[in-house]
Structure 1
Amino acid sequence: YTSGSTGRPKGVTVTHTGVLSLTTTHQERFGLGPSSRVLQFASPSFDAAFWELTMGLLSGGTLVIADRDHLMPGEPLATTLNKLAITHAMLPPVALAATEPSPLTHGTTLISGGEALTATQVERWSPNHQLFNAYGPTESTVAVTFSNSLTEPITPPIGTPNINTRIYVLDEHLNPVPPNTPGELYTTGPGLARGYLGRPALTAERFTANPYGQPGTRLYRTGDLARWTTNGQLHHLGRADDQIKIRGFRIELGEIETTLTRHPHITQATVIVREDQPGNPQLTAYIQPHPGTNPTPTELRHHTQQALPHYMVPAHIVILDELPLTPNGKINRKALPAPVHTTQATTLPRTPHEEIIAGIITDLLQLPTINTTDNFFDLGGHSLLATRLITRINTTLTTNLTIRDLFDNPTTTQLAHLVENSESHVNRPQLTTRARPEHLPLSHAQQRLWLLDQIEGPTPTYNIPLAIRLTGELDTHALTQAINDLINRHEPLRTTYRDHQGTPYQHIHPTQPHHLTLTQSAEQDLTTHAAQPFDLSAELPIRAALFSTCGTSHTLLLTLHHIAADGWSLAPMVRDLSTAYAVRVAGEEPSWEPLPVQYADHTLWQRELLGDEDDPGSEHYRQLAHWTKTLDALPDQLALPYDHPRPAT
């Protein structure tokens, strides 16, 4: 069974066919024979235990068994290796990290697998021992590649395939990629598993036909990224699903872990994404330092800042005596503790402005207390939270600070000093309800999308589809009423965009019924409905359709135009729809408090704040002048090679 680190453990049916190839590879790579003494380190429930079994008994050697207390990483394990005259041991990197590499009297050969072996471990262990790096998914006969004996303190390769094993590094179209190019790792050979026990769909997804082998042979898609070097060595680059996306940036967690382990005091590191505060995912690093060292989070954050872009620097760094492990010796990510902010405030606010700003920061970051000298970004702040912080400071203190001000002055003390400077105070208009003119102007964001619509005509390019699975008994009448409630509550959902003498304006329709279409067609028609363009001049920018798949299963498709909503809009929209539906099912009407402002009020506030673009004293004029100057030297066209001549339009 797999370790189950990503969910429910899966039974993997592996035959005995690959045992001979594995055993022969052991003998050739590691010199196993009748005099070998192999330590049984892994739990019998783990496939590595079978690995050790074959290394010892099927090579004519001795399999040495010790009790759990004598296998604990650190001094007990080192003593066991010496006392029992172990010649070969398979140890995961976390066990190597926790054990001192003092010369072992019997010259133990070490094979590391299960997790990525780091350059730090190679540097610590290779001078006095033969150290090999192994790689193998559970869906094979334990291991499929081994490195040569490692000698250089660099990130080690996983080597070359075992006897009778083939390894391919392929792109998304199953084409081989050139050397030094990342791709997904596939393996095949007699050691390949038959599939997953009782899970034919998953088996078909992961075990595919082999286009490079004999008819009937299969490839296993490992889900790992790898690359070949020009000298035929294979390097593991992490999991394909370890590439995550936070605030628009694609991030490889393995790259951050590698950077952290390059610090001289770090023996092991793992990085995960935590979302302890809903809507605010953050990188969190867990560190196991070398015994006798005491690195600080500030020191490690500075170390990562020197090597990585800002968006890859962990928001939290948690230092642990040792990383929690599964029974199989892998890092137990589910047992990693939540970061705890333990800083005791030693520099307290001294002025009212410092007290207000510190309060806003602690509220945004969900921290109990901060020092006035703490850096906002070191505390876990990022660009999106920076926008919210500056907005709240400007609203609360009627200032006109910018995001740049925060990056240049990231502490409470520095921000308070800016606020206390009289030049930072402005007569900033407040966002309140406002009298509506006959022709309500568009916000700048709306104007952009309206202009694109005028140029391109109706197009689904800016449609935002949201499909919601509904299970159980559905009250379609109550759902229709709830959608009406949603549209009537939020004016942008009942706004069309008209033209008055060449200038667009918002036409907000009065409350009105909205008809829900009950569609009995197949769910593949969802894309057809979602791709229908909107006529912004005559049609409301929201459309609803209900797809009935069976008696108690439906899919509600809400399609919105981007001129009325964005990604941030979806959560409050679904929340309001859910609230309204629950009330309507009970035969009542929603008793919402009126919204303090509508988007039309924001539009008028924005126009007042920025002013007229022809007024040299306005913020609009200043910003336009800045970008006109900044972009002045850009060419009309980029001199890039192209396959086809550029048409006139």
Structure 2
Amino acid sequence: MAEQRVMRIFLPFVALQSIAFYATAMDLPTPALRECITAGEQLHVTPAIREFFGRLDGAVLFNQYGPTETHSVSSLRLDGDPADWPLMPTIGYPINGADVHILDERLCPVPAGVVGELCVAGPPVSKGYWERPELTAQKFVPHPLEGGTGALYRTGDLARYLPNGQIEFLGRRDGMVKIRGYRVELGEVEARIRSLRSVADAVVVARSSGVGDTRLIAYYRPGGQPVPDPAALHKELTTCLPDYMLPSAYVPMQHEFPRTPSGKIDRLALAAGEPPAATAV
């Protein structure tokens, strides 16, 4: 990036985090960079990302949202002092032409501030799945709202409109779990762990014993030596997370997290493994 004087990059959060972490840890400047666009995964503004953009001269970060079945449908511009950027930025405002709605289970609009399913209509929506008519009919439904035309794509993502018109992304419906009766979004727990200076990256999965006892397991990559102790991480997290959101075990990872063919973290592979008993707290 430095040698080729790259000015604009488009990449998912996992790649941005890796670049930011290594660029800052090894003091590798990228002075030409002016614009970065991230999409495909929920953006967490980690310490490495704050430091990376803090070293740049006026570079901006765009957080965009758009599932595979659509073009990008919303965007948020982050500029100014990265120290002031939120830990979990919103996905911004709908782009021109995107018809974005937050709907309940009956496909009726919910008021601002109420959580519902993020649904998209208009030019950004694709025509469906190739040779998968049943799945297409399930996910691409006739537009149910007055004045709406064409298909409405049900993303399966949870979100809500904020009073300022921005959309707050709250993760997948299958990423929301119940711990002792409380609803917990795994991405929020991950963001808090990634905000710790001693952690380079983290993934949280929910594991059930089969008798209604669901617990959180945190897998983390250390940010340096010595490797942070699970008990120390747990103690740090008690200052920013309520008790029911605290992982019950922490698993240090010496290598990269397993990936899907598309490059995203393979959460199913992590969930299938057994965490070492010694990491429990």
User: Which bracket does the TM-score occupy, shorter chain normalised?
Assistant: 0.7 to 0.9
Task: Please name the residue that 1:85 is paired with.
Answer: 5
Task: Please name the residue that 2:85 is paired with.
Answer: 153
Classify 1:293/1:173 alpha carbon distance in 2 versus 1 (closer, same or farther; 3 Å).
farther
Checking the alignment, whether the CA contact within 8 Å between 2:36 and 2:60 is kept in structure 1 is: yes
Classify 1:181/1:153 alpha carbon distance in 2 versus 1 (closer, same or farther; 3 Å).
same
The 2-side partners of 1:332 and 1:95 are apart by: 15
**Helix, strand or coil for the counterpart of 1:282?**
strand
Q: Which amino acid aligns with 1:162?
A: I
Identity, % of aligned pairs? 38
| CA shift for structure 1 position 139 | 0.8
| Matching residue within 126, 130, 136 for 2:53 | 126
| Matching residue within 94, 110, 133 for 1:200 | 133
Higher mean C-alpha deviation, range 173-182 or range 225-234: 173-182
Q: Which amino acid aligns with 1:341?
A: A
1:325 aligns to 2:259 (yes or no) = yes
The 1-side partners of 2:93 and 2:191 are apart by: 22
| CA shift for structure 1 position 215 | 5.7
Q: Which amino acid aligns with 1:109?
A: E
| Matching residue within 326, 335, 356 for 2:269 | 335
Classify 1:263/1:278 alpha carbon distance in 2 versus 1 (closer, same or farther; 3 Å).
same
| CA shift for structure 1 position 285 | 0.8
Which protein is richer in strand relative to its size? 2
Q: Within 5 A, what are the aligned runs for 1:562-641? A: none
Task: Please name the residue that 1:251 is paired with.
Answer: 184
Q: Bigger radius of gyration, 1 or 2?
A: 1
Task: Please name the residue that 1:309 is paired with.
Answer: 242
| CA shift for structure 1 position 192 | 0.8
Q: Which amino acid aligns with 2:39?
A: G
The 2-side partners of 1:202 and 1:150 are apart by: 40
| Matching residue within 166, 189, 201 for 2:122 | 189
The 2-side partners of 1:180 and 1:291 are apart by: 40
Classify 1:290/1:305 alpha carbon distance in 2 versus 1 (closer, same or farther; 3 Å).
same
1:228 aligns to 2:158 (yes or no) = no
Classify 1:140/1:123 alpha carbon distance in 2 versus 1 (closer, same or farther; 3 Å).
same
Task: Please name the residue that 1:165 is paired with.
Answer: 98
| Matching residue within 141, 144, 158 for 1:211 | 144
Task: Please name the residue that 1:266 is paired with.
Answer: 199
Classify 1:175/1:124 alpha carbon distance in 2 versus 1 (closer, same or farther; 3 Å).
farther
Q: Which amino acid aligns with 2:78?
A: S
1:96 aligns to 2:22 (yes or no) = no
Checking the alignment, whether the CA contact within 8 Å between 1:95 and 1:329 is kept in structure 2 is: no
Classify 1:274/1:203 alpha carbon distance in 2 versus 1 (closer, same or farther; 3 Å).
same
RMSD, matched Cα: 2.5
The 1-side partners of 2:247 and 2:187 are apart by: 13
Checking the alignment, whether the CA contact within 8 Å between 1:87 and 1:106 is kept in structure 2 is: yes
**Helix, strand or coil for the counterpart of 1:307?**
coil
The 2-side partners of 1:235 and 1:267 are apart by: 25
Q: Within 5 A, what are the aligned runs for 1:366-515? A: 378-379=280-281
Classify 1:293/1:133 alpha carbon distance in 2 versus 1 (closer, same or farther; 3 Å).
farther
1:139 aligns to 2:94 (yes or no) = no
Which protein is richer in helix relative to its size? 1
| CA shift for structure 1 position 138 | 0.7
| CA shift for structure 1 position 85 | 2.4
Classify 1:209/1:293 alpha carbon distance in 2 versus 1 (closer, same or farther; 3 Å).
farther
Q: Within 5 A, what are the aligned runs for 1:273-288? A: 273-275=206-208, 279=211, 281-288=214-221
The 1-side partners of 2:2 and 2:117 are apart by: 40
Q: Which amino acid aligns with 2:236?
A: H
| CA shift for structure 1 position 293 | 6.1
The 2-side partners of 1:330 and 1:291 are apart by: 23
Task: Please name the residue that 1:78 is paired with.
Answer: none
**Helix, strand or coil for the counterpart of 2:277?**
coil
Q: Which runs of 5+ in 1 are unaligned?
A: 1-80, 344-377, 380-649
| CA shift for structure 1 position 133 | 0.8
- Between the two proteins, the alignment pairs up a number of residues equal to 263
Checking the alignment, whether the CA contact within 8 Å between 1:109 and 1:131 is kept in structure 2 is: yes
Classify 1:308/1:198 alpha carbon distance in 2 versus 1 (closer, same or farther; 3 Å).
same
Checking the alignment, whether the CA contact within 8 Å between 2:117 and 2:155 is kept in structure 1 is: yes
Checking the alignment, whether the CA contact within 8 Å between 2:37 and 2:62 is kept in structure 1 is: yes
| CA shift for structure 1 position 238 | 0.9
Q: Which amino acid aligns with 1:87?
A: M
Q: Which runs of 5+ in 2 are unaligned?
A: none
Checking the alignment, whether the CA contact within 8 Å between 2:259 and 2:266 is kept in structure 1 is: yes
Checking the alignment, whether the CA contact within 8 Å between 1:122 and 1:150 is kept in structure 2 is: no
Q: Which amino acid aligns with 1:169?
A: I
| Matching residue within 36, 61, 69 for 1:110 | 36
The 1-side partners of 2:114 and 2:158 are apart by: 10
**Helix, strand or coil for the counterpart of 2:145?**
coil
- The Cα offsets for residues 486-528 of structure 1, whole Å up to 9 and x where unpaired, read as xxxxxxxxxxxxxxxxxxxxxxxxxxxxxxxxxxxxxxxxxxx
Checking the alignment, whether the CA contact within 8 Å between 2:161 and 2:168 is kept in structure 1 is: yes
The 1-side partners of 2:42 and 2:226 are apart by: 23
**Helix, strand or coil for the counterpart of 2:126?**
coil
| CA shift for structure 1 position 136 | 0.8
- The Cα offsets for residues 567-602 of structure 1, whole Å up to 9 and x where unpaired, read as xxxxxxxxxxxxxxxxxxxxxxxxxxxxxxxxxxxx
| CA shift for structure 1 position 246 | 4.4
**Helix, strand or coil for the counterpart of 1:302?**
helix
The structure whose RCO (Cα within 8 Å, separation 6+) is larger is 2
